[in-house]
Structure 1
């Protein structure tokens, strides 16, 4: 066969045996995998890139009459029904008997499960075709939402559906730090779609998983769920206002957790460090897509103590000595506020304790400081008052070679 001349020809060549597949599900999975290559290489708005590709494909193949071409057109139209021309696509005269089942599924169940800390939530829904013999077996969609980075991190469509549901249930039953529940399909639709929209616009996709190959089929299955209902409150929790931050700090300092770590009785000379450290905790929480100052876990503590604080803050020795202590107290307080078990709270505390030596090393080396943070740290080390414009300008001029990439 001649070398394909266009991307559309290449796709047709890759799907030349589509009519030999056994079911609509097999065909939809093949179609999604083919569209996954478009999704993976798009530089932005990947969902729109796939939609535009399908629109172009349908236009370019409108006069093709081979069974493979007409069948693949029907597959793509079922996967991306909002592509221009998709509504006019009909299976050809020589299409497989299962072509009439493309996209004709109903939801048979929905669940959610995740960790008690709120780092990640997996949403699981099962679907069945109107005609299982032609459409294919009941299958499951699993979408992993990572709340620490605010994206749908991975998706998967496969089966057997019943086994996937039971495996998830068993894993959560055996792990005290996880939960499993039935889920409102409309809520699943809303949460997965909201986070998937962020994923679609990433410059670089998560490295592992089946996100690209299954994305188009996931979109089609989400569309089969009930439409998202308007949220009772804001979809994204906003950071606390200054007044709310003040109330949070006061309530914390009155708590038994703060008392246990001796924070209400710190010496006057340590008060500035105490409140600076508390401000850093709140600033870090505000940096998350779903800002919640009470959501702390071993993972969130690691992101804060071993990464974020070194890139975003300049600590003096008093601050560095105070910060792990404040973090342990705040994490314990937050765990109680969220109703976490003592073992879950202890797990976070143990993780923080284990991180302290690495935190101290990173503080000492400064290897994770951003250029801006490193510059401010050097300014302070040189004894320059940042509120003195003349001294600040003189320091910048003297250190310009260290602040820019231009040696001149």
Structure 2
């Protein structure tokens, strides 16, 4: 999705240590909109402001930041406060916030501040056409909906990801929707075997967007575009210009018996794949994956969906017994072909799908080599492949990813370097990043991070070996990685004893004994 979006100066990022300062800056922004602004510009400003905290975690007794902003503005006697509240009265995400903004606006106006001349125009858009461009497999859909303020048109363009429940992965406001639509039609004309374009009924568009945003919001750390938060509030407000949404598709609740029947149907149709325990296990895993990640259409196949299936095997989200791995490639290719035939995918698209899956399998097969490059420094010697694999498994538990984010910087690091390995540990604790950058990091938090780093180093070096043995037992009992590391850190902390100024020591034998008792 590459539209030309309406761009304005970004609002400064919030500073947690000065919420009142942030609120004052917001009121200044709204005071500067003037008496006759383009209503879309006011809406974009409001959306950008509220987007700063759309995924900000709140404690149970904490009020949403938007409500705190409304309360703050209600105490001011300024045109900026009136402008902000007039905008939130229309655009705030929840009905509670809109009602609070309306009440606060009346309070401010009652003190003699005039209502903005443009206040009654916000949100009074006319809905135009809705058009969807989608790949023939159903992995992704770009949905363009047009709106107008009189003769001035704009569009809302959302990218829906059906490999992950139909969530909205990207959304932007475009100021030239006709040009974007022309590009979508051109692509469909040039790639007719892979891309289709269709008109969408407004009620259906409403359902797709509403369900898509709800799915994204339900994900703890959603992978969204950089501009998603910036346009999210305006997109949700535009949904109120649609007719009532169509009914959401029913989820296909497949019982264990029904899933086994799908496997049997697949193997009966694909004569090139032998029907045995291994092929049934792989096929059943594909059915289970579809039911987990796309319950509306669990048997659908597409390049992105099958690529993500392989990623879940690499990440350990879905586990495939090692003895079944030799048939994975044959079953996955057969599944892709069977699913494409079942969905009536054109022959050219089916060939493209099979080619993509073959490429994914080639990359998947090279994974052991790439992991060795990441987790081994080239100096180690191993008695056999089993010892090598066990070492990589242990180190992947200690450091599951070489990517991290510290502050605003995204990093790819080498875990074989102890200092870079420490940074990867730090990256798992964003709550400490600001204090670290300000060199104010001391006391208990500093000790906890140092202890966790020590445990990770012990796991990496397998010294003492009892650390990994304890971690394995805890993991096999169902404990998550974070819980395992926390418990190992607690055991290490209990062994530490003061040994002079700013020094600590521990009895290695007692430490090993404590680990064996976990």
Residue among 246, 250, 259 paired with 1:245: 259
Shift of 1:402: 4.2
Q: 1:199 to 1:315 in 2, by over 3 A?
A: same
Give runs of aligned pairs for residues 37-48 of structure 1, distance below 5 A.
Answer: 37-40=52-55, 42-43=56-57
Q: 1:309 to 1:285 in 2, by over 3 A?
A: farther
For 1:355 and 1:161, the matched residues in 2 are separated by: 36
Residue among 142, 145, 150 paired with 1:125: 145
Residue among 75, 82, 91 paired with 1:70: 82
Alignment deviations for residues 196-217 of structure 1 (CA, whole Å, 9 cap, x no partner): 1232244334353321111111
Q: Does structure 1 residue 186 correspond to structure 2 residue 203?
A: yes
- Name whichever of 52-61 and 142-151 sits farther off: 52-61
Shift of 1:327: 0.9
Give runs of aligned pairs for residues 234-383 of structure 1, distance below 5 A.
Answer: 234=250, 237-255=251-269, 258-259=270-271, 261-263=272-274, 271-290=276-295, 292-308=297-313, 311=316, 312-317=318-323, 319-362=324-367
Alignment deviations for residues 336-376 of structure 1 (CA, whole Å, 9 cap, x no partner): 000101111111211222233332333686668986xx9xx
Residue among 161, 173, 182 paired with 2:189: 173
RCO greater where, 1 or 2, for CA within 8 Å and sep 6 or more?
1
Q: Secondary structure at the match of 2:245?
A: coil
Q: Does structure 1 residue 145 correspond to structure 2 residue 160?
A: yes
Give the count of matched residue pairs. Answer: 360
The equivalent residue for 1:383 is: none
Q: Does structure 1 residue 107 correspond to structure 2 residue 127?
A: yes
For 2:102 and 2:311, the matched residues in 1 are separated by: 52
- Listed as ranges, the gaps of 5+ residues in structure 2 are 1-17, 372-388, 401-465, 475-484, 489-511
- Listed as ranges, the gaps of 5+ residues in structure 1 are 265-270, 375-395
Shift of 1:16: 3.0
Shift of 1:293: 3.9
The equivalent residue for 1:33 is: 48
Q: Secondary structure at the match of 2:53?
A: helix
The equivalent residue for 2:237 is: 220
Q: 1:8 to 1:355 in 2, by over 3 A?
A: closer
Shift of 1:21: 6.2
- Name whichever of 8-17 and 339-348 sits farther off: 8-17
For 1:356 and 1:141, the matched residues in 2 are separated by: 37
Would the aligned equivalents of 1:155 and 1:209 in 2 still touch at CA under 8 Å?
no
Shift of 1:398: 11
For 1:368 and 1:193, the matched residues in 2 are separated by: 41
Would the aligned equivalents of 2:279 and 2:327 in 1 still touch at CA under 8 Å?
yes
Q: 1:202 to 1:309 in 2, by over 3 A?
A: closer
Q: Secondary structure at the match of 2:172?
A: strand
Shift of 1:309: 5.9
Shift of 1:279: 1.4
Q: 1:61 to 1:291 in 2, by over 3 A?
A: closer
Alignment deviations for residues 263-316 of structure 1 (CA, whole Å, 9 cap, x no partner): 25xxxxxx2112111112112212204353421222222222344366122433
Superposition TM-score, scaled by structure 2 size: 0.62
Q: Secondary structure at the match of 1:61?
A: helix
Superposition TM-score, scaled by structure 1 size: 0.78
